[in-house]
Amino acid sequence: MNEMNIVKFPSREAWAGILRRPGGNAADLEKTCEAIFEEVKRDGDAAVRKYTWHFDRAHLERLDAREEEFEEAGRSLDPALKAAIRLARENIEAFHRLQLPGRRERVDARGFRCWQEARPIERVGLYVPGGSAPLFSTVLMLAVPARLAGCEEITLCTPPGSDGTVHPAILWSARLCGVTRLFKIGGVQAIAALALGTGSVGRVDKIFGPGNAFVTAAKQRAATRGVAIDMPAGPSELMVVADETAVPAFVAADLLSQAEHGPDSQVFLLALDERLPALVAGEIERQSRGLPRREVIEKALARSACVVPRDREECLEMINCYAPEHLMLSVKNPGEWIPSVRHAGSVFLGNYSPESAGDYVSGTNHTLPTGGHARAHGGLGVESFMKTISFQEISPRGLDCLGPAIEVMAEREGLLAHRNAVRERAKHARP
Amino acid sequence: MNEMNIVKFPSREAWAGILRRPGGNAADLEKTCEAIFEEVKRDGDAAVRKYTWHFDRAHLERLDAREEEFEEAGRSLDPALKAAIRLARENIEAFHRLQLPGRRERVDARGFRCWQEARPIERVGLYVPGGSAPLFSTVLMLAVPARLAGCEEITLCTPPGSDGTVHPAILWSARLCGVTRLFKIGGVQAIAALALGTGSVGRVDKIFGPGNAFVTAAKQRAATRGVAIDMPAGPSELMVVADETAVPAFVAADLLSQAEHGPDSQVFLLALDERLPALVAGEIERQSRGLPRREVIEKALARSACVVPRDREECLEMINCYAPEHLMLSVKNPGEWIPSVRHAGSVFLGNYSPESAGDYVSGTNHTLPTGGHARAHGGLGVESFMKTISFQEISPRGLDCLGPAIEVMAEREGLLAHRNAVRERAKHARP
């Protein structure tokens, strides 16, 4: 196993180079997306079937999963996994329930009141990637908040295997969490079907979920065509801050767990103890021996680095400069660091909060901002599946109070019909 | 003045035609945006100056407003307008303060806790369109929530007049609401400068505010380049529901106030009383006589319609089908309608809540979802200027409880390093 690059006390000019994220080729992706979107728009399900054969090598007569497939999944799934998924669902639901927005109302004694009410987004599309493993945990992370929000139609798309099936853990989780319909469609064709609608797939209002660079480009295309999206997704990231109280074996395990996500994942160790890098490197070497995804890990570590910052302040600046998706604070008093963490997706405190707890069962959402998007975005939550409507009710007396200000402002903005909306009411006999 | 098209009891098949929104030519805009973005990226301020001359006919040595200009604005603005703007700011601040998110924490007795904290988006860019009038009200609607959220750098861009100046009401409002820097830059070049950064303009994390089709296309381009945007903006819209308790003069005034926004604005009257359309048309004719923006209004009304639905249920379906930016409920018991309004930006109840109150002073935000985006988006709020970070802290005992579920789930997803993050900790002597 190659070792991670170790950088001691880098100068500030060197930061951008060290913290650089791997880039992609956006233009190529956009062309592919455009072609598939056009075809799905024109040919609907036929285009979806064509691309499902092309990319997933599956021939599908019917695109959605049948009731029997859900039932069979329930029978075939082993009880230990079911119990684990149930525990995860309970914790995710309990944590996300706290996010349900309340009504916010302001009553002004002068005769008017304004308030906001949240409403579910009616039709949502959830994307669950395929690839080397069945990501049933992502089903939980998307469907539980959608259900809590009260979304009416929850459509899930996930690519089928070449035998036309979907993994039973995905089917069972989808049913457990209240997914309305599940389609065996993946990639750009899935996003196009959700964005445009086909004979089988209903058009949705917002699309959620992770995916590869093609899926991300397809979501961005959907966004410019009037369908909302959750956030731009990219390769996963982890920054671990460790001091002398950290346990090298734990730090190494967490770095490895992030690195195994994909060859374009990126991990950083910010070591506040100069002895740590060598100790962690030794542990990485030892622990990675038995791992099946060793090749993926090796590639990810090649894009990663172990940095020794000068002090705590520099360390915090580096965190906020990178804005990591995941941040672990394996330090003495992690709580003291919190007020200074300005940009991060999800933060794990102390030695016994591994990132994989948040990936699966603690209750926080694992759909998080990558690529520096943590500067402007948080992770998914119940609010992501809702929107607010503003209301106001003004009494005749209230309008007497607000009217003169409306008139002068409207007049100065040159909008005289806006002003007249007040004047016409002032002329009228009061009820 | 041409009359609005009146449609009685339209069949459901006819709805799409009646409620169709005016469309644009997206491809052309994208090409223009691409060219300007490339040039701003390459030449920075020089490109911004070039396009400011090209589009706004202003030669600017310095792009930002100087301290003396703010001071001069304070001296020249008349007291009545200042008082009106102050009243508006107070109400907007009071209503938006309710939106400041609190901490949400879940403590599980088994030994773990998860919580969320909101953080301001550090650097935000506000766009205030120019054109025929100085939209100082938009300064309030963007800067007040940005300030409440705690954003550190609030950069405002607005196009200059050909004499290189910005209207004193915009300068004074910007200063009043805590804008950090104000640049005299408009259009695509402003969005490009905010998204990419130039010598003068710092790059921002999120861009807010309305604008014409070019500005909207530029914001969407910024969004695919890693900068967040508030929402896609489009021409303004109003739907008025009126029954026999409505006052035709008020309804006409509100329709006119919306129509004067621009030739591509759209207004609908849903009349639950068959006599209303003729009465409202008469009032539109009378009231529009003195209006300076009569030509704009005429064009907007040509895209609009007056519909007589069969009953209340059909009326509600039509509202939710269109998902209007503004909705007025000029009906007997407007409160009874609220639970059935699923998609709308801002709702005005009763005869004395004109839409212009929400545009200026009642406290609700006037930056709202248009073009049917109310299906997935709410209007701007304090949360639009913040993001959440998740935190979790697990005790050794808590990890004993969650660990087995993490292990089985990680194993089934084929992510063994994720599983090992638990196992390495289990092996270790407990603190």
- Three-state DSSP string of A348-405: EECCCCCHHHHHHCCCCCCCCCCCCHHHCCCCCCHHHHEEEEEEEEECHHHHHHHHHH
Indicate yes or no: CB of B119 within 8 angstroms of CB of A375: no
Contact A226/B at CB under 8 A: yes
Indicate yes or no: CB of B352 within 8 angstroms of CB of A398: yes
B378 CA to chain A: closest CA distance, Å?
Answer: 5
Residue A37 sits in the same domain as residue A129:
yes
Residue A275 sits in the same domain as residue A250:
yes
Nearest to B387 among A94, A377, A428 (CB): A377
A259 CA to chain B: closest CA distance, Å?
Answer: 9
* Residue listed under structure tokens 């609190």: B102
Residues of A in contact with B134 (CB under 8 A): 412-413
Scanning A279-298 for CB atoms below 8 A from B yields 287-288, 290-293, 297
Whether pLDDT at A187 is above 90: yes
Residues of B in contact with A227 (CB under 8 A): 376
Residue A52 sits in the same domain as residue A191:
yes
Indicate yes or no: CB of A293 within 8 angstroms of CB of B416: yes
List the strands of the sheet with A326-330, edge to edge. Answer: A5-8, A305-308, A266-271, A237-242, A326-330, A346-349, B386-394, B112-120, B104-108
For the segment B361-399, what is each residue's pLDDT rounded down to a tens digit? Answer: 999 999 999 999 999 999 999 999 999 999 999 999 999
Among A30, A90, A114, the strongest candidate for a mutation testing the B interface, having the largest count of B CBs within 10 A, is: A114
Whether pLDDT at A233 is above 90: no
Q: Is B381 a domain residue?
A: no
Residue B263 sits in the same domain as residue B288:
yes
The per-residue pLDDT for A28 is: 79
Q: Is A67 a domain residue?
A: yes
Where is pLDDT greater, at B426 or A225?
Answer: B426
Residues of B in contact with A132 (CB under 8 A): 414
Per annotation, catalytic residue among A96, A261, A326, A373: A326
Residues of B in contact with A169 (CB under 8 A): 412
Q: Is A384 a domain residue?
A: no
Contact B87/A at CB under 8 A: yes
Contact B148/A at CB under 8 A: no
Give the DSSP per-residue string, A167-229.
Answer: -HHHHHHHHHTT-SEEE---HHHHHHHHHH--SSSPP-SEEE----HHHHHHHHHHHTTT-EE
Is residue A62 within a helix (H) or strand (E), and if so which, with residue range? none
Per annotation, catalytic residue among A260, A314, A325, A355: A325
Q: Are B355 and B70 in contact (CB under 8 A)?
A: no
For the segment A104-128, what is each residue's pLDDT rounded down to a tens digit? Answer: 999 999 999 999 999 999 999 999 9
The per-residue pLDDT for B29 is: 86
Residue A73 sits in the same domain as residue A213:
yes
Provide the ipTM: 0.95
Contact A54/B at CB under 8 A: no
Nearest to A360 among B91, B114, B405 (CB): B405
Query: Dihedral through CA A192, CA A234, CA A226, CA A154, nearest 10?
Result: 70
Residue B117 sits in the same domain as residue B220:
yes
Contact A253/B at CB under 8 A: yes
CA atoms within 13 A on the CB side of A204: 34
Instruction: For residue B307, give the nearest of B2, B10, B14, B17 by alpha carbon.
Output: B10
Contact B89/A at CB under 8 A: no
Instruction: For residue A97, give the nearest of B98, B110, B116 by alpha carbon.
Output: B116
CATH of the domain at B274: 3.40.50.1980
The percentage of residues in chain B with a pLDDT greater than 90, rounded to a whole number, is 85
Tally of domains in chain A: 3
What's the DSSP call for residue A64? Answer: B
The per-residue pLDDT for B303 is: 85
Nearest to A428 among B249, B406, B424 (CB): B249
Q: Is A367 a domain residue?
A: no
Residue B75 sits in the same domain as residue B200:
yes
Confidence band, pLDDT 50/70/90 cuts, at residue A224: confident
Indicate yes or no: CB of B388 within 8 angstroms of CB of A381: yes
Q: SS3 sequence, B208-263?
A: ECCCCHHHHHHHHHHHCCCCEECCCCCCCEEEEEECCCCCHHHHHHHHHHHHCCCC
Contact B107/A at CB under 8 A: no
List the strands of the sheet with B346-349, edge to edge. Answer: A104-108, A112-120, A386-394, B346-349, B326-330, B237-242, B266-271, B305-308, B5-8
In the listed set B185, B218, B233, which residue is the last one of a domain according to the structure? B233
- Between the alpha carbon of residue A129 and those of residues A16, A140, A210, A211, the distances in Å are 31, 13, 7, 6
The per-residue pLDDT for A2 is: 61
Indicate yes or no: CB of A112 within 8 angstroms of CB of B355: no
Strand partners, B306: B6, B269
d(CA B297, CA B98): 36
The per-residue pLDDT for B4 is: 82
Q: Are B145 and B114 in contact (CB under 8 A)?
A: no
Which SS3 state, helix, strand or coil, does residue A343 take? Answer: coil
Confidence band, pLDDT 50/70/90 cuts, at residue B96: very high
Contact B134/A at CB under 8 A: yes
Q: Find the angle CA(B134)-CA(B139)-CA(B143) to the nearest 5 degrees.
A: 170
Q: Are B220 and B210 in contact (CB under 8 A)?
A: no
Residues of B in contact with A121 (CB under 8 A): 375-376
The per-residue pLDDT for B26 is: 64
The per-residue pLDDT for B185 is: 97
Contact A338/B at CB under 8 A: yes
The per-residue pLDDT for B2 is: 61
* Mean pLDDT rounded to a whole number for chain B: 94
Indicate yes or no: CB of B91 within 8 angstroms of CB of A80: no
Residues of A in contact with B82 (CB under 8 A): none
Which SS3 state, helix, strand or coil, does residue A268 take? Answer: strand
Confidence band, pLDDT 50/70/90 cuts, at residue A26: low
In the listed set B316, B346, B362, which residue is the last one of a domain according to the structure? B362
Whether pLDDT at A25 is above 90: no
Q: Is B388 a domain residue?
A: no
Residues of A in contact with B334 (CB under 8 A): 393
Nearest to A406 among B114, B361, B425 (CB): B361
Residue B39 sits in the same domain as residue B67:
yes
Confidence band, pLDDT 50/70/90 cuts, at residue A35: very high
The per-residue pLDDT for A332 is: 97
- Between the alpha carbon of residue A381 and those of residues A90, A240, A368, A377, B52, the distances in Å are 15, 24, 10, 11, 41
Contact A105/B at CB under 8 A: yes
Query: Dihedral through CA A202, CA A204, CA A210, CA A216, nearest 10?
Result: 100
A3 CA to chain B: closest CA distance, Å?
Answer: 17
For the segment B248-303, what is each residue's pLDDT rounded down to a tens digit? Answer: 999 999 999 999 998 889 999 999 999 999 999 999 999 999 898 899 999 999 98
Residues of B in contact with A172 (CB under 8 A): none
In the listed set B184, B218, B233, which residue is the last one of a domain according to the structure? B233
Contact A232/B at CB under 8 A: yes
Q: Is A377 a domain residue?
A: no
Lowest mean pLDDT among B21-35, B131-145, B315-329: B21-35
What's the pTM value of the predicted model, to 2 decimals?
0.96
Contact A263/B at CB under 8 A: no
Phi-psi label, residue B113: left if phi above 0, alpha if psi -120 to 50, beta otherwise: beta
- With a CB cutoff of 8 Å and minimum separation 6, the contacts of B263 are B296, B299, B300
Nearest to B122 among A118, A342, A396 (CB): A342
Q: Is A209 a domain residue?
A: yes
CA A269 to chain CA mean position, Å: 23
Is residue A7 within a helix (H) or strand (E), and if so which, with residue range? strand A5-8
Q: Is A294 a domain residue?
A: yes
Residue B352 sits in the same domain as residue B279:
yes
Catalytic, A325? Answer yes
The per-residue pLDDT for A24 is: 64
Residue A307 sits in the same domain as residue A425:
no
Residue A333 sits in the same domain as residue A419:
no
Query: What is the span of the domain harbouring residue A225?
Result: 26-233
Average pLDDT over residues B144-162: 97
- Between the alpha carbon of residue A55 and those of residues A47, A171, A185, the distances in Å are 12, 21, 10
Indicate yes or no: CB of A392 within 8 angstroms of CB of B226: no
A303 CA to chain B: closest CA distance, Å?
Answer: 18
* Mean pLDDT rounded to a whole number for chain A: 94
Residues of B in contact with A414 (CB under 8 A): 132-133, 292-293
The per-residue pLDDT for A384 is: 97
Residue A197 sits in the same domain as residue A250:
no
Nearest to A421 among B257, B345, B392 (CB): B257
